[in-house]
Structure 1
Amino acid sequence: METEKFAELVKKMRESSKKRNFEQAVELSVIIRGVDTKKPEGRISGEVFLPHVPGRPARVALFAEGELARAGREAGADSVISRDEIAKMGADRKLVKKFADDHDFTLAQADLMVLIGKSLGQVLGPRDKMPRPVPPTANIRGMIERLRKTVKFRAKDQQAVSVKIGVEGMDDQQLTENARAAFEAIKQKVDEKKGEVVKLIMKTTMGKPVKMV
């Protein structure tokens, strides 16, 4: 789909949205058909790396010790959790829930994955917050910076996949580029399920939805 069509959708969204006393989020919804999202095999989910940070950068936690922990702190990880802290967290379910709510993505030193699964998995797993392992030779700064611009999307039991692409304070070009990237990632998942995109809807938090067929 041409970039110009996304630019026009952003323009229409601006025109239909009234100014509020807070900065509104901008959401893109992809309406689909031909996929039974009520069935497990039809559920669509994934994540997309956006060209521009969609307002608030994603918060990233790192489970690590030693050199990797030091590198993670220097790279700006929002939280760095040691082996001992994992065990302490596991004894307090409320603390684990708060941790999950406070972070969008988690990374972990490979040899801590089993401990994390045993101690925190019951809470992190259902919330899709289980960490992805960090390879020994990985560029941890690059991994964290990439996740800052990454957003998740999911459609469980409805014929729409929605994702936040930014905030109204971003310029039109940034929103246009984020919208196109998000659409392409979602469409790829829809195509894998043999589904079809019907239309796109864009809106601000309190704004009127505008559509592109």
Structure 2
Amino acid sequence: MDKKEIAAKIKEAIDASPDRKFTESVDACFNFKDVDMESSEHRLNVNILLPKGRGKGIEIGVFADGDMNVKAKKLSTHVLDKNETQSYAGDRRKMRKYASECYTFLAQPELMAIVGKNWGVVLGSRGKMPQPVPPNADLNAVFERFKNSVRVKSKKAPNINVPIGTRAMTPDDLAENLLAVYSNIERQIPDENIRSLFVKTTMGKPVKIR
């Protein structure tokens, strides 16, 4: 796909949507054909790095003890140590609220089993089971990568909407992000199985790209 043509379509979608009282996201809407989205062959569950970023911040939750806990608290307001992780187990409502406040989660490898046992039902159903962070990893770099990434998780229906940024970003930057998403999806679902691709703002009308 041609980046300039994609950027032109994105600009068309943004221009057609009046300004709102909030900054709209821009979504790429993929429709697939002749694929079983429940099969492991085509199921999508991946974090994709957007080369031009998300255009807005996200909250990342962390399960960690010790030094990682201290470092994480400088980067996030949602950090739980081992005891706190376990203490939430008796209050499902509290866990659901906590999970809804974070876009994604990270965890020390040593706490993964505890998180799975106590939080698995809540986080698993939302596609938010934490990513393990190696002990020697640069937490600042890990946060930076995840803050500029988007999670793509398919369901049963043969379609998926992926945020590629916000309307405050330039069409060229959004086009570059869309191409990154397309490239990653194409690794799992071949181009010939992509029926169509649209782009739209949160409340705007879709504009067909292909």
Give the alignment's TM-score, normalised by structure 1. 0.89
Tell me if 1:33 matches 2:33: yes
- Of all paired residues, the percent bearing the same amino acid is 31
Aligned to 1:141: 140
2:204 corresponds, among 195, 204, 207, to 207
Displacement, 1:23? 2.0
Displacement, 1:159? 2.5
Tell me if 1:63 matches 2:63: yes
Comparing 163-172 and 53-62, the one that deviates more: 53-62
Q: Give me the whole-angstrom Cα distance separating, in 1, the residues matched to 2:107 and 2:45.
A: 22
Displacement, 1:92? 0.9
Aligned to 1:8: 8
Q: Give me the whole-angstrom Cα distance separating, in 2, the residues matched to 1:2 and 1:144.
A: 31
Displacement, 1:89? 0.8
Q: Give me the whole-angstrom Cα distance separating, in 1, the residues matched to 2:24 and 2:100.
A: 21
Aligned to 1:185: 184
Aligned to 2:109: 110
Aligned to 2:52: 52
Q: Give me the whole-angstrom Cα distance separating, in 2, the residues matched to 1:61 and 1:163.
A: 21
Q: Give me the whole-angstrom Cα distance separating, in 1, the residues matched to 2:132 and 2:180.
A: 25
Displacement, 1:27? 0.7
> What amino acid does structure 1 have at the position aligned with 2:199?
M
Q: Give me the whole-angstrom Cα distance separating, in 1, the residues matched to 2:15 and 2:110.
A: 52
RMSD: 1.8
| Over 4 Å off, 4+ runs | none
Q: Is the 8 A contact 2:61 2:79 kept in 1?
A: yes
Q: Is the 8 A contact 1:34 1:195 kept in 2?
A: no
> What amino acid does structure 2 have at the position aligned with 1:116?
V
Comparing 165-174 and 134-143, the one that deviates more: 165-174
Displacement, 1:195? 5.5
> What amino acid does structure 2 have at the position aligned with 1:210?
V
> What amino acid does structure 1 have at the position aligned with 2:183?
E
Q: Give me the whole-angstrom Cα distance separating, in 1, the residues matched to 2:126 and 2:171.
A: 32
Tell me if 1:196 matches 2:193: yes
Give the alignment's TM-score, normalised by structure 2. 0.90
Displacement, 1:78? 3.4
Q: Which runs of 5+ in 2 are unaligned?
A: none
